[in-house]
Structure 1
């Protein structure tokens, strides 16, 4: 959910003309926190914050907590100083993913043209659903009711002629509301907003525009486009000027390609031992790989993020010879990047691993090593090169292929018994034949 500035003047009734307003933006309200409240109804009405205790960041906060100034991405320590009575709940990403999939499936029942933009929001083009379900406001009401009944959470919906305005509408409808911005009222609606509400205007761009006396969307629209371009650059200036007049030709894209997947974690205490950092990187690489396999992607590039105790953040990346969805391969690249990072002798506060440059795994042409290319399989035809190698598949008996199958088996265990049932373990360089799987005690009955 965007935390961009909003305008009280924009939260009024802009009319009921729904003609041409075929775009809906559906945004879950305080998604992670709402899922936790659905599971723990005794916490309703309390200021609840989802995130790591003390040293993590706020992932979500209920509106009761937000009243104290708490917001997502805020350091947990700062949040607890603002709201010391907050109930801190550790995140359960598996639960959030499950609810997200259910909600997106529900939206897919409304229309096939759904563009999911994050775990908790999506655009819908309901042009083809109007005859079956009614006007957009009726469709929005049906969506909100279904989400509430099935998952016990709420969502807000913006309805407009363009994606950009629909997204602004859902933000101004929060919490648990609907805002229709008729096509004819688009410009009037936009002129009530601060310039920071525009899609793509962050703090730096907002400051650059302010230096030219542009602080509202109305002032942006009334400015000469050349002036805006001098303030923020030629391309960005022209784009923002178009947005200020409601011009946004981007359609709802039902097949949005994910660009990267990643995971990061803040340590409870700053870590001096690089082996501890590597162990955490292995866990994060395993999470990335599991998500890649689930979505049918392989990664070309592995990047790491390290934040030291002085809050300095380093990022390093490496492009792989062959794309992979194997956690061990991602970890080896991440470990090399960590070893080469100059931390200045400082302990580590946060580490992250990200898989970038994603490609569909079916399109990957695996390049076997010499050992893999000479691998043979037993069968009626006798010893011969493994015919399983090729686009989308590694040689089934190769070291990397065998590890991939092992990790897929781990995926199946987690799907049945939970994410904590099994996890990878560090493999000592001097003991390559040792198992790389560590079992965590769990009730598997």
Structure 2
């Protein structure tokens, strides 16, 4: 039936269905909470459509009744989905962790008098780790919420690490050194104030500031520095260069207002960098399975080790952009490759010792004891590499217990003042701890 011959009620239902399709896109990508203005607007729009549908006269026609009922069910489903996203435990955890970050920034600003401390940097890193552990179950809205919180806090981390790095380089130059130095000091003082303004803006703490205003302020400071005469003064020129670099970093982070709007930023299923990392993980798994089947060191060990090292090179070239989830995914893949290489290295070292039995007969007893533990660790490392389970599994608890026992065995080795034994024990302890850390990483249920 042509549109002009359709019942007016059916025409309105079809118009509403078109609005529902547009609303679905907004609901699926919604990343806020119930207190957000966007939530209230979406909820109001969907409720209004429900009222409109309820007011439509079906005129007793079954097709109109069916169309109206179908549209009502869709709308009620969208309202429920919107509420579930806004009240999802993971969404609330993101909000809670971001709130902790806001409180941390507020406390640091008031207690440290505007200075950046290493303790502050450590706390920010802990918060980032908490956010990377939030599970999203693949839901776009939850991924978006986690990503936006992460990118903002990671921007703050970059700012404070850059500041700490600058503080560690050297103290500002003496004002007596050159007439331009006091001018750079003055600009640096303004940069220090602007730094906290940028941090406050990123953390949604300063409602009076906006990106455009701060950008103008920082650009003005750059112009002041550009006008400073540093001719023939390399130290002064380098001082100015460091301040310019910090301003440019702050300007870059002011672009965060537009971060996270494109689906590709937070929905990583089709992200090219993640695809590359996943491809490398598959290659690592294949090489690992091949190596675990070999009982003795042979040419295949050296060939596989070379392939693993090339995978590390590939991982190093992957573009992680500003996405901390991709950065963590790459880090974990690097650790995975390194764990397999460490296994091959230990196997090679143990094989070499077996072939040097005569030369090692006078080796210090403490060193022999350390190598005996390493021999046991090699077997447990093999089991950890092949382990594919959860922390609640009996095998996990057994491996954790046995690795802990190896650490205790190393702790019990008396080096008797032998420098070689001390170094060997220290390296063996680090090796055992790395295996334990790798076991933990494999079972922490992390998702990108």
Both structures adopt the same fold (TM-score exceeding 0.5): no
Q: Could you tell me the TM-score, scaled by structure 2's length?
A: 0.26
Q: Which has the higher strand share?
A: 1
Q: Larger Rg: 1 or 2?
A: 2
Higher fraction of helix: 2
